[in-house]
A and B are shown apart, each in its own frame.
Chain A
Amino acid sequence: MALRVQTAPEKVVQRGKSRRSGSMVRIIVDQFTSFLFVVPFLIAFCLFVGYPIVFGFIVSLNHWNPLAGPLGFAGWSQYATLFNMNTLAAQQFWLGLKNTVTFVIISVPVLLVLPTVLAYLIYRSPFKTLFRSIYFLPTVLSVTAVTSLWTWLLQTQGGAVNNFLHAHIPWLVEQPWAWLSIDMATVWRTLGFNLIIVYAGFTQLPQSTLEAAALDGAGAVRTFLSIALPQVRHVLAFIIVTSTISSFNLFAQSLLMTGGGPGSSTEPLTMVIYNQSFNAMHMGSAAAMAYLMAIILAAISFVQYHLTRERAS
């Protein structure tokens, strides 16, 4: 890629001159040399995004073993199977989807409300930089570090959380604690991310409006609800969409904290797809699941985007 960067200048034609001469050849050469700048990105993009999207669809239309390769054309049958509840694949897919949606429902509201309230408190308090740093800190940690840490904190015997509460809560092994555990670890790690975005929204608040509200005798809660929140409504709409997407992609927390258990109750769709492709070795069927999941997620994002945008404006 670096070589390409160095070869570009020799062919370059100066823009100013090419305009004036107006010759067709010069325009084409000018456009071509401009296009060369995008070529390294386009190569990477086509190889690692474009081609996989097409190839994944082809895989989903075939029976495919990761070691043996294609085992015959399946047509739409692997998609149809996912709608036949008598099959194991369908049962796993819809249970996985149900679990994923459960997590979205229990995580997105928290990831919206908590960062918004905290961001506003920081915005109205001294020590802004210090507090922002503290709340942002866990965001830079890897998901495996976070899950190994929280698995230790949430041990039933000798875990710090149970010690603190003087309780024997079976956090990682029984419901509803298992979901609560995954939710806590996720919120702890990602709330700082949303907080930074909402905080940036609050800093756009006109100071005069806040002063006027204070003069009118509006209390802190009232000012927050009637003046600050409407100001950041577009940011909040954005956070709903992006948090839903990231919660929909839940994988590592379930794999590492609960192993998908108890039973399969915290096994999200991503884990079903992972198991179907790399453990059960049904890559074609797994690709069909992944495609269906991507379509469902795109549909949800689309609906959310339009609903929140209408409300916001």
Chain B
Amino acid sequence: MNPKTRITRWLAVILLSVGALFMLFPLVWMVSTAFKPQVDAFDGHLIPTHITLANFSAIFSSGSGASVLRWLVNSLFVGVTVAVLVMIIDSMAAFALARLKFFGRRVIFYIVVASLVVPFIALLIPLYLEFAGANMLDTYWVLILPYTANAFGVFLLYQFFLSIPKELEEAAVMDGVNKFQLWWRIAVPLSIPASATLGLLTFMNVYNDFFWPLVSTTSQDMRTMTVGVQLMAVGQYNTNYSLLMALTLCSVIPMLLAFLFAQKQLTQGIATTGINL
């Protein structure tokens, strides 16, 4: 490597490090504020002079009027349920579209792809009225069902199933395997990495969604974590930033864990499809 390239490389490292500080600083500041007593919140110190857990105990104490634990459980339950349903539904659909032949296959595939460009705002009002008519507003149904129509996942797994070698399928058919077994015993095990990516991205999308839970739930008990943070930010914790940052920190912990343990799946899913859910 010539000296000029070496200088360029280290210049890149310096620039990237400065940028990385800007990326990380807001998060560090959030953690710092969350562990500060309320009187110190505005002191401007990055390292808290007094470290306290009082903000966290205040958040989870039942007396504060907030039901943070309930919101967290709601978000996790809804996110996991949707992820599992989507992985099953989309895997079956993608398998049939990619590997089986039937009338209307092409039409269905084009509809799936076209639906990716429909903005959520166009669905918001009719979806709300649909669930209001079914008397399902403010229940788990309204928080789960709309997300099960996940065209993105069909698209993602479709591309994966196309790449399975034909010989593998033919060998299985020779052995007298039926279509369902072909899907369950061959396609599903092969697609575990792709399905895991889909499951994670779906969980992230549902856990982080704000607009739909905001309009479709009203009672304190049915709120999700994202809506809870917003409610407290404009309500009780409006100027109490120690409490608000402690709550915000709690709200992002599941996603930070997902980031730590499954970053590769997340980034691969994004890199291969480029589609934001």
> A residues touching B (Cβ–Cβ < 8 Å)?
1-2, 5, 8-9, 12-16, 31-35, 37-38, 40-42, 44-45, 47-49, 51-53, 55-56, 59, 64, 66, 118, 121-122, 124-127, 131-138, 140-145, 147-153, 155, 157-158, 160, 163, 188, 192-193, 196-197, 199-200, 214, 220, 235, 238-239, 242, 245-246, 248-249, 251-252, 256, 269-270, 273-274, 277-278, 283, 286-287, 290-291, 293-294, 297-298, 301
* Cβ contact within 8 Å between A31 and B103: yes
- Which of A48, A188, A248, A274 is B146 in contact with, Cβ under 8 Å? A48
Q: Which residue of B lies closest to A287 (CB)?
A: B125
* Cβ contact within 8 Å between B274 and A131: no
* Cβ contact within 8 Å between A2 and B248: no
CB B145 to nearest CB in A, in angstroms, measures 6
CB B256 to nearest CB in A, in angstroms, measures 7
* Cβ contact within 8 Å between B90 and A41: yes
* Cβ contact within 8 Å between B27 and A137: yes
Q: Which residue of B lies closest to A200 (CB)?
A: B271
Given the complex of chains A and B, what is the CA–CA distance between A274 and B123 in angstroms?
Answer: 12
* Cβ contact within 8 Å between B210 and A52: no
* Cβ contact within 8 Å between A59 and B96: no
Residue interface bits B221-242, CB-to-A below 8 A is 1, else 0: 0000111011001100000010
B20 interfacial by beta-carbon distance below 8 Å: yes
CB B144 to nearest CB in A, in angstroms, measures 11
Chain A at the B interface: SS class: helix
Q: Which residue of B lies closest to A134 (CB)?
A: B20
* Cβ contact within 8 Å between B121 and A293: yes
* Cβ contact within 8 Å between B118 and A294: yes
B163 interfacial by beta-carbon distance below 8 Å: no
Given the complex of chains A and B, what is the CA–CA distance between A18 and B70 in angstroms?
Answer: 54
CB A209 to nearest CB in B, in angstroms, measures 15
Residues of B within 8 A of A122 (CB): 12, 16
Given A142-B210, A144-B210, A153-B29, CB of A158 within 8 Å of CB of B44: yes
- Which of B29, B130, B151, B256 is A140 in contact with, Cβ under 8 Å? B256
- Which of A41, A133, A188, A297 is B263 in contact with, Cβ under 8 Å? A133
Question: Which of B49-57, B170-178, B189-197 is near enough to bind chain A?
Answer: B170-178
* Cβ contact within 8 Å between A294 and B119: yes
* Cβ contact within 8 Å between A301 and B173: no
CB B173 to nearest CB in A, in angstroms, measures 5
Most buried by B among A37, A56, A138, A274: A37
* Cβ contact within 8 Å between B85 and A1: yes
Given the complex of chains A and B, what is the CA–CA distance between A33 and B101 in angstroms?
Answer: 10
Given the complex of chains A and B, what is the CA–CA distance between A76 and B26 in angstroms?
Answer: 48
